[in-house]
Chain A
Amino acid sequence: MIRNITFTSISVCLVLNAVIAASNISWAQDKVAAKAVELKPVSTFQSITDEKQRSVALFEEAGKVIQHPRCVNCHPATDRPLQNLTMHPHQPPVTRGDGGMGVPGMMCTTCHGSENVPVIGQAETIKSIPGNPNWHLAPIEMAWEGKSLGAICAQIKDHERNGGKSIDQIVEHMGQDHLVGWAWNPGEGREPAPGTQKAFGELIKAWAQTGAACPS
């Protein structure tokens, strides 16, 4: 039984002193959706005549990726990354550290290599350990966890909170970056982000070209 657990839901639980049902959260890897979620191509949005509305719609479509756990898990609101479609805190408990690369004694590279590694002959619920040569957390100012798509959009455009990137650089980052691309190649046992990085990149590019408007 996989449930979406967030810090807030737990504290609400406590505050309300709710009657708590017996259950178990799942620490296993994702139950991969039978059919991958597709992204609508940019052309679908041509019919929206108002450019601002079109821009917003493009971003909302791209938001299926941006707000997918595969992306949010490494854009956490705290110093601890998340895991799984349930977005539970990473186990073992790892910490952001300098440059989002982990801390002395337990850097990300302690477990994450330059590529995904299949786990053979162990837990059926852990099929692979993810990896990428540039494996690291997004800086805290780029935290997406718990934010609305509109807030994320504003943040993406804000130089103070996007690593000083221009819109063009953002388009390139989203569409080309290898670590971003990991979201569509997350290793066995993990549901990939919707669509493809190419389709996502095109949506972001079209969004930029239509004035990079944000959902309200």
Chain B
Amino acid sequence: MTVHSIKSTRRSFLAGAGLVIGFTLAPRMFSARAMQGVQAGGDTALSPMNAFVKIGADDTVTVLSKHIEFGQGPFTGLATIVAEELDADWSQMRAVHSPADDKVYANLAFGLQGTGGSTSIANSYEQLRKAGATARAMLVAAAAEEWKVPASEITVEKGRIKHAATSKESGFGAFASKAATKTPPAEPRLKDPKDFILIGQELPKLDTVSKTNGKAVFTLDVTADNMLYATVAHPDHFGATVKSFDDLQARKVQGVVDVRQIPQGVAVYAENTFAALKGRAALEIEWDLTKAETRSSDQLTADYEKLFAEKGLAATNNGDVEKAFSGNGVQSIEAVLAFPFLAHAPMEPLDAVFVKAVDGSVDIYTGAQFPGMDKSTAAKVLGLDPEKVRVNTQITGGSFGRKAQFGSPYMQEAAAVFAATDGNRPLKHMWTREDDIRGGYYRPMYVHKMRGAVDADGKIVGWDQSIVGQSIMAKADLDETSVEGASNLPYDIPNLRVISHNTTLVVPPLWWRSVGHTHTGFAVETFVDELLEKVGKDPVEGRLALLSKEPRHIATLKKVAEMANWGSPVPEGRQRGVAVVKSFGSYVAQIVEVSVSNEGSPRVHKVWCAVDCGIAINPNVIKAQMEGGIGYGLGAVLFDAVTLGPGGKIIQSNFHDYRSLRINEMPAVEVAVIPSGEPPTGVGEPGVPPIGPAVANAWRRLTNSPVRRLPIVNVLSA
């Protein structure tokens, strides 16, 4: 229906250290028919200053975000960085998703385009400062030429270009198209951070308004004329495949257009979503379980525990652990901790819209966390040259890691659904919540065996930790993501051994908001708390004494203790717990206050949180991410597990049995952002790791029962 012809004219553009190759997009031919969906790269009528900055005749500055906006705030953060060096006014700033391009828009931490590891600000900071400064220099050059004055005499302030001596003044728009033709400076001058005007301010987020009036266009909201809607029937066992199916009843459902088998299951095509759902429900499918995972979660746990007897992969081996444990007067504590599979359950389930243009090229609208990978994957499945596939990243309803998948397995399915049609009708493929909860790519199950040794003087002298679970990176050797946070234990313990055992399951693993720290943070912070209790030390003072080489841990922990007035009397029936975890370069310490609820489960009343994430671009966004990380992590440790039942059938399927934290369970959260001149680091994930262990530590003090198995509430109810 739509003619989208895209031409990219590349030109050489150096921003700073040769990081950026810019390119411009020639205007596309839009169809005359209405379609709701946001094209990557933004309005093509705007003048591009470089790959990241476009300026409109109306003075608007549009930042092309190479990172997906799914709530963690890159639109606002990246636009702030550009606006700072551009000396723009905040009111003129806009942000859109960049096109998919693994070179131009590479995450400098990964080498390809992608969002993850809380790197959006960290990897873009210098790059976008340069992009902003470059655009500023080009605007100034254009104004100097037009006004016939030396560029050095021109100033820029709050979006106004001025020449004081001649009293000339202009907005950006008047010079935008001329500036776009200027040669960018090889090495634009960057501000001294002490002169920052916008960075560090709590600027209003750019995407808030459209998210309060229903106008933000998520992938699920993309619509095209004559669009088909498709759902896929999936097995309820991992590794199962379609043996046979009967679609007689499905085809009778009003609105069902077709039924096709695809590698991932059976696809139902319909004129609307409900018909696709009703048709899917009417399918009779026999699944082949020959290659399926048939062990239950309980069996898996037992199998995992057997691996403790094996040698494993040494992640860390400092000092002499065996000797430490056998020392004179040494006492030891042991604990085995079990962590379940966790689904990410973003509010917007996975979805994608495909629209074929008359030239055979395809526009894909989706929440692409790895857009380049989604693009090449879709191209392969569709049998197209990658140049003929455009990925238009949409505003996305959360991810928490779910949409960042190597090899783009979701896109493989979605593209297979589209490929099974003649492609002449646009198509929306949608997962239901059940597809999402049962779709795998979980935070893997892990089992940790902890041993700690304390000597006669009450000193922790040995730490021995074995971790069993899947390698997220599918490695045969040591996977850092399995041991991060443990192998580099921040505490001064002379004899430290961390062993990793990789397991192989059919259940596909994935990173889940804060990755390895989801379990290592819990294990380390609950176990150090128990050891400190054993030697009669205060949880805060005891940690501080063990952190002598970690000044930023110390500062964060001290700050949170000060906020909570640690040591002051705690209300009757409540206890406090503390945890401090460094993840993704950021340091987060939390203190929680917990009581036992009427239901007999932890009721978290209050969380104090201190975060050091280097230079704070937008403290309000940082606070929001801490609040969100706390709520997300708390819901998981209290309620969540995806369990394989007898025979390997997946038990949970939707929010009724995979519980989310709700407003009545949300603690009051108070966040302090520690001032810092260090380079900025991430905030999307680091709020998560400390909340679980902090709650578990408080719970242990309340009930005398340490938390050995998550989630807490399911286990209590058993």
| A125 close to B338 (CB less than 8 A) | no
Q: Does B278 belong to the interface (CB within 8 Å)?
A: yes
Nearest Cβ distance between residue B700 and chain A, in whole angstroms? 11
CA distance A123 to B645 in the complex (A): 16
Closest partner residue, chain B, to A93 (CB atom) = B664
Choose among B433, B599, B645 the residue that contacts A10 (Cβ–Cβ < 8 A). Answer: B599
Choose among B231, B277, B717 the residue that contacts A25 (Cβ–Cβ < 8 A). Answer: B717
Nearest Cβ distance between residue A42 and chain B, in whole angstroms? 40
CA distance A121 to B301 in the complex (A): 33
| B718 close to A24 (CB less than 8 A) | yes
Choose among B274, B301, B598, B651 the residue that contacts A24 (Cβ–Cβ < 8 A). Answer: B651
Q: A13-B716, A17-B703, A20-B716 are in contact. Are A122 and B598 (CB under 8 A)?
A: no
| B600 close to A10 (CB less than 8 A) | yes
Q: Does B11 belong to the interface (CB within 8 Å)?
A: no
Q: Does B385 belong to the interface (CB within 8 Å)?
A: no
Which residues of A18-39 are within 8 A (CB) of B? 20-28
CA distance A78 to B277 in the complex (A): 37
Nearest Cβ distance between residue B705 and chain A, in whole angstroms? 5
CA distance A28 to B432 in the complex (A): 17
| A14 close to B277 (CB less than 8 A) | no
Give the secondary structure class of A's interface: loop
| B718 close to A122 (CB less than 8 A) | no
| A10 close to B654 (CB less than 8 A) | no
| B434 close to A123 (CB less than 8 A) | yes
CA distance A170 to B84 in the complex (A): 75
Q: A10-B600, A120-B277 are in contact. Are A125 and B718 (CB under 8 A)?
A: no
Closest partner residue, chain B, to A126 (CB atom) = B656
CA distance A56 to B709 in the complex (A): 48
Q: Does A104 belong to the interface (CB within 8 Å)?
A: no
CA distance A1 to B281 in the complex (A): 24
Contacts of B600 in A (CB 8 A): 7, 10-11, 13-14
Q: Most A CB atoms within 10 A — which of B278, B298, B599?
A: B599
Q: A89-B599, A93-B662 are in contact. Are A28 and B656 (CB under 8 A)?
A: yes
| A22 close to B281 (CB less than 8 A) | no
Nearest Cβ distance between residue B541 and chain A, in whole angstroms? 28
Q: Does A124 belong to the interface (CB within 8 Å)?
A: yes
| B280 close to A17 (CB less than 8 A) | no
Q: A20-B716, A122-B277 are in contact. List 7 more A-B contacts (CB 8 A).
A: A1-B645, A14-B596, A14-B705, A25-B718, A27-B659, A28-B657, A122-B433
Q: List 27 A-B contacts (CB under 8 A).
A: A10-B601, A10-B717, A13-B716, A14-B596, A14-B703, A20-B709, A21-B718, A22-B715, A22-B718, A24-B641, A24-B643, A24-B651, A25-B714, A25-B717, A91-B656, A91-B659, A120-B274, A121-B231, A121-B274, A121-B277, A122-B433, A122-B434, A122-B654, A123-B653, A124-B653, A125-B654, A125-B656
The 10 nearest A-B residue pairs measured at CB: A121-B277, A10-B600, A23-B718, A27-B657, A121-B281, A123-B654, A123-B653, A27-B656, A25-B717, A11-B600
